[in-house]
Amino acid sequence: MSNLFQGYIYPNNEKVKYLDYFRGCFDSVFVAFNPFFKMSNSKDNQDYPEPTEITKFGEIVKWKSIKKDCAFKTYNEIIYGIRKYSRDIPNKEYFYKLLDYYCRKNYIWEPYDGTFCELIQGEIKRIFESNLYKTVIVQDEIGRETEEIETCSLEESLAKNHISNIYSKDKKILFTIDWDSYYFLFCSSKEIIEKSLKDSCLEGFFSTDKIGHLWEFDSEITELYKINHN
């Protein structure tokens, strides 16, 4: 796809599958979750922490732990709990109330959507650095604002600007997120992704040919992940 990096990069069309969309540019796509987190300096669940507070005091809580402790059958159900007002999902209120109660009881904050969480920004920087990229390209959601920056300043740039896409100049690594998603895509070769995920805080799963935007609402995918992600 020669025009992939012009305009919208994230494939926000439910009819298009990730692997089909990125074919010719990337052979693998890892769907990575924005993390839940706790604040080591506070047990206040009233006001969502500021980005600088999250960076300094935030501690990642794995989706796997949430799924186990709440007895959710799939990761989809966690997203149903987060998306309180989205779509007509069966048992949506149950998922929301269960997740809300669990998070409040354990002083856990839910992830937010549309941006790369502060707690994984350093990991994204590390992945570029470990693959010897001294600079990266950062871009807004619609591709109007594009800038090449030093990789070491990535976290600072993310703090100041709304960045939806981060990729290497040779276009061999891409991180992209949709404005309304609680997960982002890590696109590259299977070898680079697997190497990068070793000892990584990133959590998620490799896309298959059935996975696309808003996969969490696809009933076929829901049944598939009941089997494969227990």
Rounded to two decimals, the pTM is: 0.91
What tens-digit pLDDT sequence spans the chain (230 residues)? 557 888 899 998 888 999 999 999 999 999 999 999 999 988 776 789 999 999 999 999 999 999 999 999 999 999 999 987 666 677 788 999 999 999 999 999 999 899 999 999 999 999 999 999 999 999 999 888 999 999 999 999 999 889 999 999 999 999 999 998 999 999 999 999 999 999 899 999 999 999 999 898 876 555 444 434 44
Q: Identify which of 210, 174, 199 has the alpha carbon closest to the alpha carbon of residue 19.
A: 210
State which H helix or E strand residue 223 sits in.
helix 219-228
Sheet of strand 58-61: strand arrangement: 58-61, 36-39, 108-109
Backbone angles phi, psi at 200, to 5 degrees: -100, 155
Contact 136, 171 (CB under 8 A): no
Cβ neighbours for 58, distance < 8 A, ≥ 6 positions apart: 37, 38, 39, 40, 49, 118, 119
Give CA–CA dist 81/97, Å, rounded: 7
Backbone angles phi, psi at 138, to 5 degrees: -115, 145
